[in-house]
Every structure is written in structure tokens, then in C-alpha cells.
Amino acid sequence: MKVEVSDLYEKFKDDLFRFARSIARHGQEANDLVQDAMIKSLNEPELLSLPEYKQRAWFFRVMKNRLIDDRRKEQRLTQWEEDLDFPIQLGVSHLEITDLLRHLPQDLSDLIFKRYWLGLSSQEIGGQFGVPASTVRYKLHLAIKRLRTILEEEK
């Protein structure tokens, strides 16, 4: 009897989703972990020849490693985003900042508003605009640089 990867999914799907939900923050993240593990299993033909308990362990390990990688990546991005802090605490009121934002093109002004007023991450903003988070961070960097220049010229 020949075993296919799709058979593995049918055989382990309940265990995989249960494990993924136990380690993930929310359902979507759990679904992504299971999907990623299934995609990786397509490139592992020797997985089909392993005993069932080792196949299950392989899936669990792949999902756990993916989650650890994602957490590390989030931590790096969060630290990087903290470097983009805008100097609101330097004595500039929200009204003055609103006035400053008029000096920026509309797309950069929207990015600043979403990042610093709404508190969205660059990943969330990128999802709304359909661009990568790195592009959002780059544009935020440009916008903050322009705002700092304007603030310095006004002093």
C-alpha cells in the first residue's frame, strides 16, 4: 500500500490542529503553522517511510520551529520599529503635529497617522495597503526624517 502526503494530512489533521492551537496565539496562526508543515512535508519524501509516531513528531517539530522563527522575527522587527519613534515627547502637541503632517504627501501622512495615532504595526499597515512591512518601515523612516527637518527649521 502506497502512502501519499495527502493521506498523512487526513491521518494527522486533528492532532496537528490541536497541537498548533496549543502553541499559537490565535486560530489563524495555528492554521498557518499546519499549512506550512504540510507544504514542507511535500519536500520530504522519506517522511512517508517513517513509522507513524515519527511522522507525527516530525510535524510537531516543524510547527514548533516555525513558531520560534516567527517569534524571533517579530522581536527583531519590533526592536527595529522602536527606533522609528517620533519625538512627540519633545514638547510638540498633537495639534502641532497634525499641522506638520500637512507638509507631507498624503500617503506618508496616512502612514504616520496609522502608526502613531492608531498604533498599528508596519505589518498591519502593509496588509492594508498591500505592500511589504519593510516598505512601510522605509516610508515611515522617510516621513519621520522629513518631519524632523521641518521641526528643526521652525525652531
DSSP state of 24: S
Q: What's the pLDDT at 76? A: 74
Task: State the first-to-last Cα distance of the chain, in angstroms, to the nearest integer.
Answer: 79
Q: What's the pLDDT at 1? A: 42
Q: What's the pLDDT at 21? A: 93
Nearest to 41 by CA among 74, 70, 11: 11
pTM for the structure as a whole = 0.52
Residues of the chain with pLDDT under 70: 1-3, 78-94, 155
Q: What are phi and psi of 123, to 5 degrees?
A: -70, -45
Q: Retrieve residue 104's grid coordinates.
A: 507631507
Q: How far apart are CA 130 and CA 150, in angstroms?
A: 29
Q: How far apart are CA 46 and CA 40, in angstroms?
A: 12
Asked whether 140 and 111 are in contact (CB, 8 A), the reply is yes
Q: What's the pLDDT at 123? A: 85
CA 22, distance to chain mean position in Å, is 20
Asked whether 88 and 97 are in contact (CB, 8 A), the reply is yes
Task: Burial-class residue 81 by CB neighbours within 10 Å (0-12, 13-18, 19+).
Answer: middle
Q: How far apart are CA 79 and CA 83, in angstroms?
A: 7
